[in-house]
């Protein structure tokens, strides 16, 4: 896996979880900025093992002549039962892009850690892996990997920027930011 984001924010762990993993105004705005459209969110639900799961559907905008303009995507998220409200959250997210070439060969796995640092601070860490369901021809595999890393890097760079903006807004005038 690759580490795409590793940063302390002046935002409580609780608030960070709510912003990223509920149907929040932050994530809706962020999706808007990224041209991720028609999102549908399903609520978190406990499964038999005690983990919580939810899925999201949306359409991503790609605008790469080689790949296409849009693709529908499904994101299956697991909130592990080891998570502790307000303290520590571990979320795995599998992203399937249904309409890109070779979509039946791969998916992306993102692992999010939100770790409370203090009452008002948390660390956000995101690891990403491109996973193969079946082995493509070498040239195709490097094509998939290359396109995935660059798209993912771009996404998390912008997520970090938007989180910094939100942090500034949240802490404005509180005096102890
Ligand atoms: C999530 C990884 C790969 C995919 C894309 C596939 C190209 C295939 C190229 C070949 C378009 C929001 C990405 C970037 C789409 C966006 C995905 C996002 C950013 C085979 C011709 C969507 C996080 C996420 C994870 C994986 C990203 C895809 O929250 O290059």
- Give the tens place of pLDDT for each residue, 148-173: 999 999 999 999 999 999 999 999 87
At 176 the pLDDT is 54
Strand partners, 131: 107
- The rounded percent of the chain whose pLDDT value lies above 70 is 97
State whether the beta carbon of 147 lies less than 6 angstroms from ligand 1: yes
ipTM of the complex: 0.95
Is residue 129 within 8 A of residue 109, CB to CB? The reply is yes
State whether the beta carbon of 102 lies less than 6 angstroms from ligand 1: yes
Could you count the other beta carbons within 10 Å of the beta carbon of residue 35?
Answer: 12
Average pLDDT over residues 41-51: 96
- The pLDDT mean for the chain works out to 95
Indicate the top mutation candidate among 152, 154, 156, 160 to test ligand 1's pocket, ranked by most ligand atoms within 8 A of CB: 152
State whether the beta carbon of 60 lies less than 6 angstroms from ligand 1: yes
Q: Tell me the pTM.
A: 0.94
Q: At what angle do helices 138-171 and 13-21 cross, to 10 degrees?
A: 130
Dump pLDDT digits (tens) for 105-133: 999 999 999 999 999 999 999 999 999 99
Q: How confident is the model at residue 64 (pLDDT cuts 50, 70, 90)?
A: confident
* CA–CA separation, 162 and 150 (whole Å): 19
Indicate the top mutation candidate among 108, 136, 143 to test ligand 1's pocket, ranked by most ligand atoms within 8 A of CB: 108
């Amino acid at each position: 896996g690759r580490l795409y984001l590793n940063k302390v924010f002046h935002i409580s762990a609780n608030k960070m979880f709510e912003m990223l993993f509920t149907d929040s105004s932050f994530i809706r705005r962020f999706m808007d900025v990224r041209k991720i459209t028609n999102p549908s969110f399903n609520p978190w639900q406990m499964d038999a093992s005690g983990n919580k799961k939810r899925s999201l559907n949306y359409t991503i905008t790609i605008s790469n002549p080689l790949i296409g303009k849009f693709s529908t995507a499904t994101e299956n998220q697991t909130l592990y039962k080891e998570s502790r409200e307000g303290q520590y959250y571990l979320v795995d997210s599998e992203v399937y892009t249904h309409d890109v070439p070779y979509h039946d060969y791969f998916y992306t796995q993102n692992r999010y850690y939100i770790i409370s640092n203090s009452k008002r601070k948390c660390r956000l860490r995101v690891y990403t892996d491109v996973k193969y369901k079946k082995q493509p021809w070498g040239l195709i595999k490097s094509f998939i990997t290359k396109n995935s890393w660059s798209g993912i890097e771009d996404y998390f760079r912008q997520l970090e920027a938007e989180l910094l903006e939100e942090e500034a807004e949240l802490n404005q005038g509180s005096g102890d930011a």
